[in-house]
Amino acid sequence: MENNKEKAKNDEVKVAVPVHSGKFNETYKEHNHSENKVHEHHEHAHQNTDKKEEIKPIKITKPKVKKDVAVVRAPSVHISKRHGMYICSFIKGKSIDNAMKDLEQVILIKKAVPFKGEIPHRKGKGMMSGRYPVAASKIFISILKTLKGNVLFNDMDLEKTKISSAYTNWAPRPQRRGGMKGKRASVFIEAREVNK
């Protein structure tokens, strides 16, 4: 009986102890080698994506077309339509700088804008009656400065550019007390490069 117990203990010991052979180590090495290959493959893929990100897109530049027209719109300004209409006819056909100089003279009440109707007569060449719309002239000067910027942006010759078209229309007018409506007008000015 004692011999049988000792044999059983020896058998249990033999079963419990794992046996590592040389084949197990070889398979472990092959597994590690294959994992290294996978890691190398991933690293190679990351390098390829980095190279793709480094490529910069080519910018295609279109040839710039020279313009000979510059336009400015003031959709709703605080001026009288009547004053704006006469100032537009006053500056039409002039260069932008000359128009601004004339409007500055109007602000200083040294030059009158020609008006029609029962208005006092003013001194000046070819003028019968006129007024000095100071507030409207200040707004028109700021609009002409914007037009001048548009002319320079379009690479137009400022000295050869003349105001070819200018007009004023009604804009939506705000309601005032007693049923009155406020002053609002829309201004459009166009300048063209004249080649002589």
CB 60, CB 127: distance < 8 Å: no
Tokens representing 124 are 């000046």
As a whole number of angstroms, the distance between CA 87 and CA 90 comes to 5
Q: What percent of the chain has pLDDT over 90?
A: 52
Residues 6+ apart with CB under 8 A from 15: none
Q: Where are the domains of the chain?
A: 69-193
DSSP 78: S
Give yes or no for a contact between 187 and 165, defined as CB atoms under 8 angstroms apart.
Answer: no
pLDDT in tens, 74-122: 999 999 999 999 999 999 999 999 999 999 999 999 999 999 888 888 8
Tokens of 99: 């128009």
Q: Residue for token digits 């990351």?
A: 46
- pLDDT at position 38: 47
| pLDDT digit string, tens, across residues 123-168 | 877 788 999 999 999 999 999 999 999 999 999 999 999 999 999 9
The helix/strand/coil state of 143 is helix
Cα angle for residues 176, 182, 185 (degrees, 5° grid): 160
Global pTM value: 0.66
CATH fold for the domain made of 69-193? Ribosomal Protein L22; Chain A (3.90.470)
3-state class of 170 per DSSP? strand
